[in-house]
């Protein structure tokens, strides 16, 4: 049985011990008095004994120290968030909500695979002449078997509903209620996302998400995968060169199709790995150059970029830069060879969609981390400061810690980032491209009017379709309502920057979009497609 989520074992009667030292809300290790009451790592433990408690996920257990901890692991609706705990706080291995959800999901997957296996087997069953067997009738939504006496297919009688048609793909989705200003409760899971826990490690093993992997790429060729928990190591644990000689540190995103649609006051956002998704109105925009879905993978720089020998690079251990225009950054990116560009619009839409599915929250700073946004220097530290922090890290309580999601450092905060492949013309028309990006919009597709007036404020609504993604449509919100991010769209020849920067405080985030005619302090991010 493949694709089952990792289940953490329990401990009989859940005996308690206590923490030996006080911890902060950001602590990633806990010293306990009696480590024998905890199963081996990875597993979960709960601090406190009532509805003000906190569940953690620990990935190491050495002596009496639980390490590699994910804080607020079971947080939901304001309960279970990471916070400081005093010496002597009770801690134990309880049966948690996340264990329940994972168990239910595995049962669902086993049931689904068993039913699919029956269906696949049935379709290969033939009668003694090898001519007929069992088939699925999509018109009657039933399985049928060939009756040699009647010489026709007849419905199979069964006590349970008919099996679904065989499928080896998944569709994850969220539904956004635009009339609900709460960034969290306005978003609900649909399709195969039902039963998943938002922001949890359950997604690490889910189709599509499990194939998002860090790697080293050189001349458009993947050299090797990296350890997702320590980019300084190859996947097998041997040392990796992530400072230049072996290539650029990139995140590999597998081919996926996206569908975004607005129905009155509801936005429906979906992703799928269905190879025939176009028949259902999905598009492979993020994996397209010349024809829809003509690329199997897209690679996005793990770090804010720098220039080495006039080439835009994604390397660990360097200071990122913002010394040039978007046109110059574009030229430097392409100097790496065919297929290289700056991060572009449809790849940004892909990242926004993946974020929405995993976190089920419009407030990215509140869900994944505030980022480095409180001021000071744009370069908080050299690139790669989070190399050993896993694929996801961030603090929702401080404004001076960089954020990392899907292995990408400073997707918001730090520096604003140029986004290529999108231009707003003098009439506020949105134009986009898949290839041959340029500063004048030559060869771009005109997607129509973006807005009939200039927009500049916290977003309440976005364009909300597959081709225009989450570009601004209306403002008037705040840092704690609706999309909780700042957006601008105005007339004139405009280019796109995203994410917010080191002084954005509450206006930074995954949906923060600035469409302006000029910008300073903006950097780039490498892409290969």
Task: Categorize the per-residue pLDDT at 134 as very low, low, confident or very high, splitting at 50, 70 and 90.
Answer: low
* pLDDT in the model for residue 105: 79
* pLDDT in the model for residue 15: 93
Task: Categorize the per-residue pLDDT at 222 as very low, low, confident or very high, splitting at 50, 70 and 90.
Answer: very high
* pLDDT in the model for residue 427: 87
Max intra-chain CA distance, the chain: 83
Distances in Å between the Cα of 45 and the Cα atoms of 20, 318, 340, 354 are 15, 37, 45, 28
Task: Categorize the per-residue pLDDT at 114 as very low, low, confident or very high, splitting at 50, 70 and 90.
Answer: low
Q: Once rounded to an integer, what is the mean pLDDT over residues 153-161?
A: 53
pLDDT digits (tens, 9 = 90+) for 406-417: 999 999 888 888
Q: Once rounded to an integer, what is the mean pLDDT over residues 263-274?
A: 94
Kindly state the tokens that stand for 56.
């953690």
Percent of the residues in the chain that have a pLDDT greater than 90, as a whole number? 60
pLDDT at 475 over 70: yes
For every residue of 1-33, which 3-state class applies, written as one string? Answer: CCCCCCCCCCCCCCCCEEECCCECCCCCCEEEC
* DSSP notation for 311-371: EEE--SSS-----S-HHHHHHHHHTT-TTEEE-BHHHHHHHHHHHHHHH--S-HHHHT--E
User: Whose structure tokens read 């009647």?
Assistant: 150
Kindly state the tokens that stand for 97.
């909500």
Percent of the residues in the chain that have a pLDDT greater than 70, as a whole number? 86
* pLDDT in the model for residue 154: 67
Q: Once rounded to an integer, what is the mean pLDDT over residues 377-394?
A: 83
pLDDT digits (tens, 9 = 90+) for 400-440: 888 999 999 999 888 888 999 999 888 889 999 999 999 88
* pLDDT in the model for residue 109: 73
Pick the closest to residue 485 from 412, 393, 396 (CA basis).
412
Name residues whose C-beta falls within 8 Å of residue 504's C-beta, 6 or more positions apart in sequence: 373, 412, 413, 486, 512
pLDDT digits (tens, 9 = 90+) for 431-472: 999 999 998 889 999 999 998 888 889 999 999 999 999 999
Burial letters 455-489, b for 16+ CB under 10 A, else e: beebbbbbbbebbbbbbbbbbebebebbbbbbbbb
Q: How far is CA 398 from the centre of its chain?
A: 22
Q: Of all helices (H) and strands (E), which one includes residue 187?
A: strand 187-191
pLDDT digits (tens, 9 = 90+) for 166-176: 456 899 999 99
Average pLDDT in the chain: 86
Pick the closest to residue 199 from 359, 366, 362 (CA basis).
359
pLDDT at 353 over 80: yes
pLDDT at 156 over 70: no
Give the Cα separation of 331 and 324 in Å (integer): 11
| Phi, psi (deg, nearest 5) at residue 124 | -100, -5
Give the Cα separation of 261 and 241 in Å (integer): 43
* pLDDT in the model for residue 378: 55
pLDDT at 2 over 70: no
Task: Categorize the per-residue pLDDT at 279 as very low, low, confident or very high, splitting at 50, 70 and 90.
Answer: confident
pLDDT at 124 over 80: no
Best-predicted range by mean pLDDT (244-258, 476-490, 499-513): 244-258
Q: Once rounded to an integer, what is the mean pLDDT over residues 116-126?
A: 42
pLDDT at 132 over 50: no
* pLDDT in the model for residue 503: 76
Kindly state the tokens that stand for 65.
């120290």
């Amino acid at each position: 049985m493949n694709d089952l989520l990792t289940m953490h074992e329990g401990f009989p009667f859940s005996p308690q011990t206590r923490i030996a030292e006080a911890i902060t809300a950001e602590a990633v290790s806990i010293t306990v008095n009696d480590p024998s009451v905890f199963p081996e790592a990875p597993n979960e433990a709960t601090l406190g004994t009532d509805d003000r408690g906190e569940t953690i996920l620990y990935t190491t257990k050495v002596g009496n120290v639980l390490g590699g901890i994910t804080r607020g692991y079971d947080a939901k609706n304001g309960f279970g968030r990471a916070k400081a705990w005093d010496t002597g706080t009770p801690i134990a291995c309880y049966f948690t909500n996340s264990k329940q959800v994972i168990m239910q999901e595995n049962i669902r997957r086993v049931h689904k695979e068993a039913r699919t296996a029956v269906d696949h087997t049935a379709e290969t069953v033939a009668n003694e002449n090898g001519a007929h067997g069992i088939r699925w009738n999509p018109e009657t939504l039933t399985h049928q078997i060939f009756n040699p006496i009647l010489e026709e297919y007849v419905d199979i009688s069964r006590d349970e509903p008919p099996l679904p048609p065989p499928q080896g793909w998944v569709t994850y989705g969220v539904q956004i209620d635009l009339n609900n200003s709460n960034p969290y409760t306005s978003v609900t899971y649909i399709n195969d996302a039902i039963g998943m826990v938002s922001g949890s490690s359950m997604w690490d093993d889910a189709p599509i998400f499990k194939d998002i992997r860090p790697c080293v790429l050189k001349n458009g060729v993947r050299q090797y995968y990296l350890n997702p928990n320590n980019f300084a190591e190859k996947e097998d644990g041997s040392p990796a060169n992530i400072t230049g000689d072996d290539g650029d540190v990139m995140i590999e995103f597998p081919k996926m199709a996206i569908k975004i649609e607005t129905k009155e006051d509801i936005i429906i956002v979906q992703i799928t790995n269905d190879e025939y998704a176009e028949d259902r109105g999905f598009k492979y925009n993020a994996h397209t150059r010349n024809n829809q879905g003509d690329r199997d993978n897209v690679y996005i720089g793990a770090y804010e970029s720098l220039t080495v020998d006039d080439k835009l690079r994604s390397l660990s251990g360097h200071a990122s830069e913002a010394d040039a225009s978007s046109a110059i950054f574009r030229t430097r990116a392409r100097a790496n060879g065919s297929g290289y560009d700056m991060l572009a619009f449809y790849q940004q839409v892909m990242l926004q969609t993946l974020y929405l599915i995993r976190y089920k929250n419009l407030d990215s700073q509140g869900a994944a981390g505030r980022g480095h946004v409180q001021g000071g220097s744009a370069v908080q530290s050299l690139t790669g400061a989070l190399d050993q922090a896993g694929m996801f890290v961030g603090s929702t309580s401080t404004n001076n810690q960089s954020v990392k999601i899907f292995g990408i450092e400073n997707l918001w905060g730090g520096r604003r980032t140029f986004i290529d492949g999108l231009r707003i013309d003098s009439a506020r028309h949105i134009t986009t491209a898949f290839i041959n990006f340029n500063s004048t919009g030559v060869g771009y597709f005109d997607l129509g009017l973006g807005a009939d007036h200039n927009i500049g404020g916290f977003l309440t609504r976005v364009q909300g379709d597959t081709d225009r993604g989450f570009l601004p449509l209306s403002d008037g919100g705040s840092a704690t309502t609706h999309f909780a991010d700042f957006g601008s769209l105005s007339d004139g020849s405009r280019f796109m920057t995203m994410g917010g920067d080191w002084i954005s405080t509450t206006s930074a985030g995954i949906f923060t979009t600035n469409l302006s005619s000029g910008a300073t302090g903006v950097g780039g991010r490498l892409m290969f497609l």
